[in-house]
Chain A
Amino acid sequence: MAQVTSVAVPGQLLGPVSEYQPGPGTHVHNSNLYASILGPVRKLNPPKPAGPQKRLTKITPAVPAALPTLSIERNISAASQDGGSKGKAEILPEVNSTVLCRVTRITPKQAQVAILVVGETVLDGEWQGLIRVQDVRATEKDKVKIFESFRPGDIVRAVVISLGDQSNYYLATASNNLGVIMATSEAGNAMYPISWKEYKDPETGASESRKVAKPF
């Protein structure tokens, strides 16, 4: 559905708000839509209602037709075939985005992590994140112990719940598919998950407790 029209430079007029919806990379000024980053403009038409409409059993006011969305792709080098590291645009963790992070430090109340990947994008810098003890698990929150859930060096899949304080994003693993996805044992071997709360070392046979993410 997406179609490329032309390259826009910041500040370029794209069209009136009455005809288009603003997407990423655009902004609205004086009820007109303008580009705010450099890149190709994509027009995404609203999804058409699938299948034949049901017979109307009551009279409703006509739904205003959804407008096509104009957006500008941030990562414009991804469109080219080479896909090198040049031109890779930085993105930020946002609330509700899924991130991959490495545990750097644990205390009884929280686990400090470094966010490495947001969605599908690998970040340039390391952004600090924090998983508090009450955000580790959805149930029996009072029985959670951080050192039975994470260890430094683990790779964790988490979701951003808040932009947090001055330096940390607040993350949560309170869902079945969130938690530790890669862990090493105390002996230094890569482990595999054996249950929702345990990882096992294949060489020593010892098992360690973690908040395990459900494999897909």
Chain B
Amino acid sequence: MTDRRRINGPSGGTLAPVYSKYITKDASTQIQRPVRSRAPNVLRKMFLKTGVTPSASGSAYLELEASKSTNTNTPGLASLSTSGLKLTCTVHGPRPLPKSAPFSPHIILSTHVKYAPFATRKRRGYLRDSSERDLGVHLETALRGVIIGDRWPKSGVEVIITILEGEEDQWWGDDRGRGHVTAGEWGMMSVLSGCITVASAAIADAGIDCVDVVSGGVAAVVKGQGKNASVLVLDPVPSEHEEILAAAIVAYLPGRDEITDLWVKGDIGNKELRSSSYEELADNAVQAALGSHRVLVAALKETADMKLGRS
């Protein structure tokens, strides 16, 4: 469906101009791919805060730190800026269902995930596209297993996530003909994991009954240094890796040791590459989810203390 209500930019996206005087062959100023400086089992630093939207019944904001470019002496080009992940989530409800809706003995959950038009290097449209709807469906499955629906009969709750800064699917330098095009959409994995964590915080802020707080975690198998070598990393940043072989995202309930959503993408279990198994990948994603769960619990305790007027 095309958007006829707004004046849209070019569909293919645009790049800021890179002037030829900056494109030097000097190796020291050559723009390089950002390199993962964390250990394979270390997550990015996370900022999480609830109660950011006063008009909503519950809201939360999540930010992951941006990866640093390795050589800092390159000229300050706007197109060099690396982005982290920035998400806001608002929860509206429980509120009455529309008159046309049939009777429901439990709460009706609806989720909307939307990239801001400026969220990624390639500009997004104003209408939700298929990948955004995909994220919404995954988020809904992840949250449905957590909410105690029968405590809220005849009501609906809406979870709306706006992605202010999204994860890139690959390093932008790979766009320009250099290297081969990878399978793509790896950025969606860490976006979904962030969405799950931030939605969980916002739902707890709204006071909707939950079985546990669900948190998201990503693990990936990336191409290593040597030939046919692969490394398992937690919380991958797609732009930092030349090639991601496979990635998994889980929505995990630590209290019950349950997984409400699992999404694995890529090629794995290849004998020649001696890569890890699906189980190993999922287990590592659970470890990543446990990491974000600790941040989530700390943020929620802070919220409760603030509301109680203790701090």
Contact = CB atoms under 8 A, between A and B. Distances in A.
Contact of A36 (B211, B253, B297, B305): B211
A48 interface: no
A11 B303 CA distance: 16
A10 interface: yes
Contact of A29 (B94, B151, B211): B211
Contacts of A77: 307
A40 B213 contact: no
A69 to B, nearest CB: 17
A82 B308 CA distance: 10
Given A92-B153, A126-B96, A80 B307 contact: yes
Interface stretch (A83-91, A141-149, A173-181, A200-208): A83-91
Q: Which of A13, A36, A128 has the most CB of B within 10 A?
A: A36
B301 interface: yes
B36 interface: no
B93 interface: yes
A22 to B, nearest CB: 12
B300 A167 contact: no
Contacts of B309: 79-82
Interface string A169-209: 10000000000000000000000000000000000000000
A139 interface: no
A10 B101 contact: no
A169 to B, nearest CB: 8
B103 A7 contact: no
A34 B255 contact: yes
Nearest to A167: B99
A86 B153 CA distance: 24
Interface residues of A, number: 37
A124 B209 contact: no
A165 interface: yes
A162 to B, nearest CB: 11
Contacts of B212: 10-11, 34
Interface string A61-86: 00000000000001011011110001
Interface of A is mostly: loop
B255 A90 contact: no
B170 interface: no
A163 interface: yes
B213 A9 contact: yes
A102 B213 CA distance: 38
Interface in A11-54: 11-13, 25, 27, 29, 34, 36-40
B57 interface: yes
Interface string B291-307: 00000010011011101
Contacts of B308: 7, 40, 76, 79-80
A171 B96 CA distance: 17
A86 B54 contact: yes
B133 interface: no
Nearest to A27: B148
B155 interface: yes
A10 B204 contact: yes
A27 B211 contact: yes
A166 interface: yes
Given A11-B256, A92-B153, A125 B95 contact: yes
A7 B298 CA distance: 11
Contact of A90 (B153, B205, B207): B207
B209 A38 contact: no
Contacts of B206: 89
B256 A36 contact: no
A76 B253 CA distance: 25
A176 to B, nearest CB: 29
A27 B57 CA distance: 22
Given A11-B253, A36-B211, A163 B96 contact: no
Nearest to B151: A36
A25 B152 CA distance: 12
A39 B57 contact: no
A10 B304 contact: no
A98 B284 CA distance: 51
A92 B155 contact: yes
Contacts of A125: 95-96
B210 A13 contact: no
A145 to B, nearest CB: 27
Contact of B97 (A40, A76, A126, A167): A167
B58 to A, nearest CB: 9
Interface of A: 7, 9-13, 25, 27, 29, 34, 36-40, 74, 76-77, 79-82, 86-87, 89-90, 92, 124-128, 163, 165-167, 169
17 contacts: A10-B213, A11-B254, A25-B209, A27-B209, A29-B256, A37-B204, A39-B304, A40-B304, A77-B307, A79-B308, A79-B309, A86-B51, A87-B307, A89-B207, A128-B99, A163-B154, A166-B102
